[in-house]
Chain A
């Protein structure tokens, strides 16, 4: 299996949903899109075997992937959608409060350019209630960055380590994220990212504002942040029209494309699991 399938415990969520238990998930015969993206659904720079299935989140991404030469692309929906199906919201959920704020991060090899202090001031000015800032694991480990947010009076959390080369993946990553999202009324970020869509799907009101913190060596292939703002202007701003956001999140996460467990097993190549997973 491609190691990216394990990022954020995606393979674990899918294996649980497919009825294969909580153990190590069997190999997936394909690449699961591991984050919302504006390209072909695959992470640039990763090696991929030609014509191995791409298991994508949304129909729009599938069309785009096909148009740039990808084949064997199919839509299964985001793993988060499968998690939501396994953990529907309680009938009378506890009251939500405040905002969960995701400062945009790069991954380990990237370096974010931008001013955290400026962003903190903007968050303070904008958010009406208490703020939880969720940092990406490597920023969370950077004491300097973490302190900046803590000193601003924000609660600072990290959902866990997404893992790398099958090592140290937190299988509960998405579970932690879902639990946190459900505690908050709003979800916000300085960029439109997976977390915003997850937040909307988990019942939060979204907001996207502030310096988008351009990466030092951002890949411009698919148009970058400028294109994101052009294509989804309705999701940007301190206040966003909720029904519109819900509809877009529904499509981008491929909620309607969620397959039942048996069909998912077939699509992931799990009809005959290669190893015991319990």
Chain B
């Protein structure tokens, strides 16, 4: 890529002069990381449709051509890439081929309002024609019944946005609507589909790319659970939705349907080499379900330009994760001989500091070297605890929470915890039998904390989620968040006082059980919060009525007792008794006064002597 001189912006026709396809820069990191793995140095790359700055940075080692329909977008990338074509798909010069073609925003964003419409298959055919034999196509496809649709407050078919000059939906049989169909279309277009990634949490924001085959294989993976939950909670924060997208995503994972419900997919396909004997093109080398393009291009035809840092063809990563709450860099999860392990890419994730879990609290810092090393296996503690609460399996809860507290004890030095462990909550701890591990999000505690404080904080956050999320649980509705935290600590075998819990949770946002949860404003959860309030009102009204009745009965008993006392105090025996006692009481009072006077006299005498 040339950066010294502004790249040529050409307008071969069909451009949209005032149109811009703006993308969320936070959503581009995972795609950029994947592209960086696919594109060797010096490769010719066509970026068809809008792509964010992270992708351009990640592909700085390649020769980039951008095909954009909006002129303002071209103005932004001009100077950062080799060539910019502002046009519809017809503007792509015939006969021009690329090593890699990336349509990371899908095919719709390639079509212009100007000129003849090609339709989905026509657009695919146009892009496929631009892939050299043996080259790769990375194609994004939106899921018409993805999670984003299931939780959307608005209907997809109303289509009021500027980009919806036509509403392409699932009713249009010309466009593929699931992964199987897209594979068939690719095959028809002469491509061999390979690796496929599920993109979460929205179509317009992809902060997590998870390998589809791995999602189906590891339905209880703590890593996937945590990544999906965090992506969907952060990705829908402040938005009005029908139901909690994080719950739905994690449920889909457990049902083996996380790929089917992904808002979008990225499919990697390779154009078979017509005359090259590329060993990687032999279908027998590849697993059945991943196809040919499961490994990056080996570039045997350009040995002078090996893919940087890859050390030869290796399986593509299991996942690419950008954590906007944590910031830092896009993190990959790679296959290794010992299982999955973390790998940091150099692709920065813009951090939304307001959403960062420890922002402004001077409690923690991000470790630039984290995460690193193996990804711990196991199920996510949060899901296990929620399951235990829902099924009222208190034996399971005891085992888990005691195991957790004991594990914290084992990690502590002189009763204090530091580093990632001190900040890890139930949303980042995985359990596999007796083995515990932290899914490192990079945060490190600034100061060591006592085990009790760490335990109280983690359980307090879980208690908040349990109550505000409206989850059924084994305890009474009369418990507030600190109260439930104390009870959970009790289940963990720790007799934590309320004061310890309240002190540990000072830095947390206070919530009451009848509040809806923070994050997405979900209709279901708002309704649940309203139901909780209504139940609480019912309870209090019934209690008030009962208390009033009891008060009436106790007042009656008191009146009876007073009447009895009055009756007795008016009786002859009482009066006689009183007459007999009165002189004795007066004598006692006199004796006390005399004693007091004598003491005072002695004291003043002693004072005078001194």
Contacts and interface: CB of A to CB of B under 8 A. Distances in A.
A259 interface: yes
Interface stretch (B213-221, B238-246, B540-548): B540-548
Contact of A52 (B398, B496, B497, B543): B543
Given A49-B545, A72-B539, A262 B495 contact: yes
Interface in B512-537: 535
B498 A266 contact: yes
Given A50-B539, A51-B535, A52-B543, A263 B394 contact: no
Interface in A253-276: 256-257, 259-267, 269, 271
Interface in A96-147: none
B553 to A, nearest CB: 9
B543 A262 contact: no
A29 interface: yes
A235 interface: no
Interface in B478-493: 478-479, 483-484, 486-487, 489-491, 493
Nearest to A48: B546
A214 to B, nearest CB: 33
A71 B398 CA distance: 23
Contacts of A264: 490
Contacts of A265: 486, 498
A74 B475 contact: yes
B398 A266 contact: no
Interface string A206-224: 0000000000000000000
A74 B486 contact: no
B538 interface: yes
Given A72-B477, A266-B479, A259 B490 contact: yes
Given A51-B538, A59-B392, A62-B392, A260 B476 contact: no
A41 interface: no
Contact of B478 (A29, A47, A71): A29
Nearest to A63: B392
Contacts of B254: none
B395 interface: yes
Interface in A43-60: 47-53, 55, 59
B537 to A, nearest CB: 10
B394 A266 contact: no
Contact of A267 (B398, B479, B539): B479
Contacts of A266: 479, 483-484, 486-487, 498
B494 interface: yes
A261 B479 CA distance: 15
A263 B495 contact: yes
Question: Dominant SS at the B interface?
Answer: helix
A30 interface: yes
Given A256-B398, A263-B490, A51 B474 contact: no
Interface string B497-511: 110000000000000
A60 to B, nearest CB: 11
B494 A267 contact: no
A53 B395 contact: no
A260 B392 contact: no
B488 to A, nearest CB: 8
Contacts of A47: 546, 549
Contacts of B549: 47
Contacts of A200: none
Contacts of A53: 476-478
A65 interface: no
A75 interface: yes
Nearest to B483: A266
Given A49-B542, A51-B539, A59-B394, A260 B478 contact: no
Nearest to A55: B476
Contacts of B495: 260-263
Given A52-B543, A75-B394, A256-B395, A262 B475 contact: no
Given A49-B546, A51-B539, A266-B483, A256 B476 contact: no
A263 B489 contact: yes
B392 A30 contact: no
A72 B513 CA distance: 14
Contacts of A75: 394, 474
Contacts of A72: 476-478, 539
A53 B489 CA distance: 20
Contacts of B398: 256
A74 B483 CA distance: 14
Interface string B352-393: 000000000000000000000000000000000000000010
Contact of A271 (B496, B498, B542): B498
Interface in A227-278: 256-257, 259-267, 269, 271
A63 B394 CA distance: 13
B475 A267 contact: yes
Contact of A30 (B478, B484, B491, B493): B478
B542 A74 contact: no
A146 B489 CA distance: 49
Interface pairs A-B: 7 shortest CB-CB: A263-B490, A49-B546, A260-B495, A51-B539, A53-B476, A50-B542, A266-B483
Given A49-B545, A72-B476, A267-B483, 9 more contacts: A30-B478, A47-B549, A49-B546, A50-B539, A52-B546, A72-B539, A260-B489, A262-B497, A266-B484
Interface of B: 392, 394-395, 398, 474-479, 483-484, 486-487, 489-491, 493-498, 535, 538-539, 542-543, 545-547, 549
28 contacts: A49-B542, A49-B543, A50-B542, A51-B477, A52-B543, A52-B546, A72-B476, A72-B539, A74-B475, A75-B394, A75-B474, A256-B394, A260-B490, A260-B493, A262-B490, A262-B495, A262-B496, A262-B497, A263-B489, A263-B495, A266-B483, A266-B484, A266-B486, A266-B487, A266-B498, A267-B476, A267-B479, A267-B487
Interface of A: 29-30, 47-53, 55, 59, 62-63, 71-72, 74-75, 256-257, 259-267, 269, 271
